[in-house]
């Protein structure tokens, strides 16, 4: 949450500045000696199986890339729509691309403020991406530097040392020293992860919660995790929506992309509201909340009115439409239904997965390494026992370190799963909720 809160694209005299999640800044000069124009590459939709796949520059899922070009036509920097559009992952594949996506992501307003002419093209105009500097141009992304450098160095160094010991033990025969070094390398991974978890926890607690916001309706069956984690509120110039597993979405409260009205949208002919949509000045749905999870019960109208006062926008309602003459165009082109589903109480299994600490460095392989690496150190330790089958000091130490690595890797996972099953995913006592 802290990284998302810090990430910004800023316009300063003569330069465009990106502040990433690690609070580092990248400066791109504007003017004759720097960027003079912008091109949005809006790749056409490519069908794969049952859905649309967007694949500009080898990145599946992208809905476009903004290229910042200098006078010679070389790319000096690029911004991806997916990185700067909060609802990107929840937009249907049929959402309009090109100029519509540039406006939605704020690229149009950014270029106007910077004095950069913006051109939308369907592809890279048959140019060689390497020749145009596209492949080497820095990607201005809010996610850059979210994980600290020391964590990546510690994990990669530990894995490299372990693989060397594994190769030596396998091909040259295990020794007591090999077993000890392999065990220490295996221990470095869970220790680094626990330290990082502690650092992240401390930093997240320093982030002020959204002010004057609302939480889900305390209806029967609502889980403790959902009631405690999900929030909607304001944080300075931002509207902050936090779902049931802690994923955060930020939207503007001021400027051309600000939320301008709340709309209660029915999903059935009987007129029962299904979700509350947050729409901007152009009528685009930026976010949505399911009525049942957030506004049901006797306190629902009061929570809805508090949210309206917080945003300072009008609250309206759509009339139900007959089946077949409904809002099909908006449903297949906007984020309302998918966003409302994301902000609903998640099933217990999805809540457990979503609340887990994010994988890093090597993805799933990183977690597998945490479990398997101590096992080989134990095998090496048992392979170098003396003739009586006893362990010497070095071998015994290696065995103890390997077991400690196993425990540090497995116990947090077991504790998280038990806490989820026995506490967090259990129904909360029904009481007051803001």
Which is it for strands 259-266 and 315-317: parallel, antiparallel or unpaired?
Answer: parallel
pLDDT at residue number 213 = 86
Other CB atoms within 10 A of residue 139 CB: 16
Q: What angle do CA 164, 165, 171 make, to 5 degrees?
A: 90
pLDDT tens by residue, 203-233: 777 777 666 789 999 999 999 999 999 999 9
- The reply to whether 210 falls in a domain is no
Residues in the chain, pLDDT under 70: 1-3, 43-61, 124-132, 144-146, 209-211, 268-269, 321-332, 357-367, 386-389, 431-434
Please check whether residues 88 and 6 belong to one and the same domain: yes
Give 28's strand partners.
16
pLDDT at residue number 130 = 54
Please state whether the predicted TM-score (pTM) of the whole model is above 0.95.
no
Those residues with Cβ within 8 angstroms of residue 243's Cβ, 6 or more apart along the chain or in another chain? 229, 230, 249, 342, 343, 346
Please check whether residues 322 and 359 belong to one and the same domain: no
Reported for 14-17, long-range contacts at CB under 8 A and 24+ positions apart, including other chains, are: 16/68, 16/77, 16/114
- The reply to whether 331 falls in a domain is yes
Please check whether residues 96 and 167 belong to one and the same domain: no
Both tokens of residue 1? 């949450």
CA distance 386 to 383: 9
Please check whether residues 307 and 240 belong to one and the same domain: yes
Please give the full DSSP string across 27-46, using - where no structure is assigned: EEEBSTTSEEEEEEE-PPPE
- E strand intervals along 267-305: 273-280, 285-290
- The reply to whether 214 falls in a domain is no
- The reply to whether 416 falls in a domain is yes
pLDDT at residue number 320 = 73
Please check whether residues 361 and 326 belong to one and the same domain: no
Euclidean distance between the first and final Cα of the chain, in Å? 21
Please check whether residues 332 and 413 belong to one and the same domain: no
Please check whether residues 91 and 156 belong to one and the same domain: no
- The reply to whether 279 falls in a domain is yes
Ramachandran bin of 307, using left for φ above 0, alpha for ψ from -120 to 50, beta for the remaining angles:
alpha
Please check whether residues 310 and 369 belong to one and the same domain: no
Please check whether residues 58 and 157 belong to one and the same domain: no
Please check whether residues 374 and 291 belong to one and the same domain: no
Please give the full DSSP string across 355-410, using - where no structure is assigned: TSPPP-SSTHHHHHHHHHHHHHHHHHHHHT--TTS---HHHHHHHHHHHHHHHHHH
Q: How many residues does the chain have?
A: 434
How many angstroms separate the Cα of 164 from the Cα of each of 146, 150, 182?
Answer: 29, 21, 8
Please check whether residues 271 and 169 belong to one and the same domain: no
Give 240's strand partners.
233, 250
- The reply to whether 141 falls in a domain is no
Please give the full DSSP string across 36-81, using - where no structure is assigned: EEEEEE-PPPEEETTEEE--GGG-TT---EEEEEETTS-EEEEEEH
Q: Which of 344, 363, 398 is the last residue of a domain?
A: 344
Q: Domain range spanning residue 165? A: 150-202+355-424
Q: Which of 301, 324, 344 is the last residue of a domain?
A: 344
Q: Which of 312, 344, 376 is the last residue of a domain?
A: 344
- The reply to whether 140 falls in a domain is no
Please check whether residues 240 and 305 belong to one and the same domain: yes
The number of distinct structural domains making up the chain is: 3
- The reply to whether 218 falls in a domain is no
Contact between residue 196 and residue 148 where contact means Cβ atoms under 8 Å apart: yes
CA distance 370 to 196: 15
Please give the full DSSP string across 131-175, using - where no structure is assigned: TTTTTTSPB--TTTT-S-HHHHHHHHHHHHHHHHHHHHHHHT---
């Amino acid at each position: 949450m802290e990284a998302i809160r810090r990430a910004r694209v800023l316009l300063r005299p003569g330069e465009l500045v990106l502040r990433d999640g690690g609070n580092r800044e990248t400066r791109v000069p504007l003017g004759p000696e720097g960027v003079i124009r912008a091109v949005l590459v809006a790749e056409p939709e490519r069908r794969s199986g049952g859905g649309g796949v967007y694949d500009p520059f080898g990145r599946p899922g992208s809905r476009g890339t903004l290229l910042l070009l200098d006078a010679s036509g070389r790319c000096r920097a690029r911004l991806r729509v997916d990185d700067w559009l909060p609802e990107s992952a929840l937009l249907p594949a049929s959402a309009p691309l090109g100029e519509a996506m540039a406006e939605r992501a704020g690229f149009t307003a950014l270029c106007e403020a910077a004095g950069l002419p913006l051109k939308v093209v369907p592809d890279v105009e048959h140019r060689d991406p390497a020749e145009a500097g596209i492949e080497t141009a820095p990607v201005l992304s809010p996610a850059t530097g979210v994980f600290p450098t020391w964590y990546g160095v510690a994990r990669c160094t530990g894995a490299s040392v372990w693989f060397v010991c594994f190769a030596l033990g396998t091909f040259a025969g295990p020794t007591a020293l090999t077993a000890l070094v392999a065990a220490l390398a295996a221990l470095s991974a869970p220790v680094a992860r626990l330290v990082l978890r502690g650092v992240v926890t401390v930093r997240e607690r320093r982030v002020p919660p959204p002010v004057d916001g609302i939480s889900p309706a305390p209806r029967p069956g609502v889980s403790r995790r959902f009631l405690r984690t999900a929030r909607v509120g304001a944080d300075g110039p931002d509207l902050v929506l936090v779902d049931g597993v802690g994923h955060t979405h930020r939207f503007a409260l001021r400027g051309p992309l600000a939320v301008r009205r709340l709309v209660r949208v029915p999903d059935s002919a009987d007129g029962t509201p299904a979700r509350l949509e947050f729409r901007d000045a152009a009528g685009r749905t930026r976010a949505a909340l399911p009525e049942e999870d957030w506004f049901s019960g006797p306190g629902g109208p009061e929570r809805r009115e508090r949210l309206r006062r917080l945003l300072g926008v009008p609250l309206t309602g759509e009339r139900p439409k007959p089946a077949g003459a409904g809002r099909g165009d908006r449903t297949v082109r906007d984020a309302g239904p998918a966003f409302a589903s994301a902000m609903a109480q998640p099933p217990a299994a999805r809540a457990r997965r979503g609340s887990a600490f994010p994988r890093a460095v090597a993805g799933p392989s990183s977690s597998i390494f945490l479990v398997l690496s101590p096992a080989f150190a134990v095998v090496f330790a048992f392979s170098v026992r003396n003739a009586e089958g006893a362990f010497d000091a070095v071998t015994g130490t290696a065995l103890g370190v390997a077991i400690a690595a196993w425990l540090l890797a497995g116990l947090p996972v077991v504790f998280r799963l038990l806490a989820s099953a026995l506490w967090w995913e259990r129904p909360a006592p029904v009481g007051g909720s803001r």
